Each structure stands twice: as structure tokens, then as C-alpha cells.
Structure 1
Amino acid sequence: MSKDENRGPDAAPALEWLCRITARVAPLVSLGPAPSGERRYVPIVGGTVEGPALNGEVLAGGVDWQLARSDGTLEIMAQYVLKATDGALIEVQSRGYRHGPPDVMARMARGEPVAPHEYYFHTAMSFCTGSAAWARLNSLVAVATARREPGAAVLDVYLVGAS
């Protein structure tokens, strides 16, 4: 092994809080069983963006595509657009997972309150914008801790190693 291979990992990347996205959603639509699980989608109908750096709204028209796997894990692939307070449009692409104990997930499916620590819900995000003011987002990865609330998904978004 070379000297560099023995040195151990580099420092963990810093996280910079970008915003909280509260995406309002319409009822789930199931496409039925597929070979790998139940395919479904959830229309995104609007919402808010609030944070130290980015503020604005979630535009209607996005979609949260989901695959409910037989092991109880929900694969999430969302695509939607944010409109910043300066008028900039920012596309969001998000992939992640949500899972937890069957009783917790059943309570969530019934619309009952479920504490975020009772289940796993995280996504990796990328952005695309033509706005010069937000161009740095085009080259950064973000991660989100998320929670499901009745009628909405709430994501706290952190830029990875953005400093």
C-alpha cells in the first residue's frame, strides 16, 4: 500500500443548509403491480421554499414517482420546479428511500401523525437552472432529511461540500 492508502478517510463533507421545501401533494395514484413492486405516482400541487439562502414556492405540475417494493421500502424519484423570490426557476431531481416498521408505515398511510424518528426518509438531490444568480446549484449535490405529513412532504435540504 502507498502512504496515501494508509492515511484513512478524508474529513466528512460539510453540509450547508439551503432551505426547507414543503411540497403539497394530491392523493396517490397507483398504476398497479409491476414485476419489481407497485408503481405509483403522487402529483405535486404546490408548496413553499423557506431558508437562509433560498426562498420561494414549489410550482404545481411536478411528480413524485414511487416504487413500493415487496420488502416494504419505497423508492422515490421526484421531479419538480421551484420558483425563487427573484423569479428564477430551479428544476429539482430527487431520488431516495422511505421505510420503517410495518405498523409505522400503516399509520402514515392512514394519514395519522408519525414522528420522523420512527422511519427512514432521505433523498439525494440535484438542480438545474438557467439563472446566473443560482448557477452554483447546477454543479452541487444536495441531501435532504424528509418527513411525510398529511397532504405534504417536508424536506430540509443541505448542500454537500458547498463551501
Structure 2
Amino acid sequence: MTAPHDRLPAPAFEPAFDVSVDLGALEDHGDTSIGHRRVVPILGGRITGAVEAEILPGGADWQRVRADGTIEIDGRYSARTTSGDLLLLHATGLRTGSPEVLERLGRAEDVDPHSYYFRTTVQIETAAPALAHLQRSLFIAVAQRQANAVHYRAHRVA
């Protein structure tokens, strides 16, 4: 006899959009009441794929650094589509790896994205009726950190 959960559909992943985020200089706030806090300003960037948009300056990634070097990602930023609609994006996740790889990333070296784990979920808000479907989907992204940018590909969980 099969259990009811055995009949549930398995999730699938559909490529949705690519994001390139231009980053400002890291602000290290040190050990705060909730842990080691860093803020990375978002200067701009681009979204391509299911939605085409320009990332607007003014967002940031409010990071918390764990004792083992793992970084908790909490990025929030706005974008304007080519038709003028506004989007709010919220990316949360983790970036971690061996101490050696994390040290190289900390020095802004170009590191093979296969050598560390950088995954986020992405939620989108918008008032644009034509883009409302983006608010009714879950997106999982695989990311790469470079010296002054983050690149990620978001997949819609089907």
C-alpha cells in the first residue's frame, strides 16, 4: 500500500531568469547583538530572461557571517523593467565552502563556482498585472561571487 505522500508530484526546475548585480565596497559592521554583520551595497545590474529589467542602485545585501565562515545572504533590491514596471527582489540563502575557498572569495579572487556552495531563494513583488505570475512562483538560484559582482541563474520550481 502506498502512503498518500508517495503520490505527490516531484518538483522540477525551469530556467527563469539570469541576474548580474554590481556591488559596492563591503561595509563590515563587526559583531553586533545578532552576530557578525556585513552590508554590501547594490549599485545596479541587469535581469534577463523571463523578465528584462535594470537593477536600480540603493539596495543591499545584509549579511550575517557564522563562526564557520558561512555567510547568510539577505539581499533586497529594486529593478525597473523595459516597460517601466517596478519589481522588488528579495534573495535569501547561503554561501559557504572550505576555509581556503572562503578566504580566496574574501580577497575578491575569481573562484570556480563549483568549488563552493552559493544558493538562494528569490521572491519577487510587483504591482504590474502582467508580471503578477512572478509573485506566485518559488525561485531557487545558483550564484557566483566575483570581485565586484554577483551573478545568478534563477529556476522556477514547477
Normalising by the residue count of structure 2, what TM-score does the alignment of the two structures yield?
A: 0.93
Structure 1 residues 30 and 7, CA, compared in 2 at 3 Å: closer, same or farther?
Answer: closer
Range that drifts further, 21-30 or 32-41:
32-41
Query: Identity of paired residues, percent?
Result: 36
Distance 1:9 1:58 in 2: 41
Aligned to 1:128: 125
- Match of 1:107, SS state, is helix
What is the deviation of 1:49? Answer: 1.1
Distance 2:4 2:43 in 1: 51
Does 1:105 pair with 2:102? yes
Provide the alpha-carbon RMSD of the alignment.
Answer: 1.5
What is the deviation of 1:35? Answer: 4.8
Does 1:34 pair with 2:32? yes
Normalising by the residue count of structure 1, what TM-score does the alignment of the two structures yield?
A: 0.90
What is the deviation of 1:141? Answer: 1.2
Distance 2:147 2:117 in 1: 17
Letter in 2 for 1:47: G
Give unmatched runs, 5+ long, in structure 2. none
Aligned to 1:16: 14
- Match of 1:40, SS state, is strand
Letter in 2 for 1:141: L
Aligned to 1:55: 52
CA contact (8 A) 1:97 1:120 kept: yes
What is the deviation of 1:120? Answer: 0.2
Give unmatched runs, 5+ long, in structure 1. none
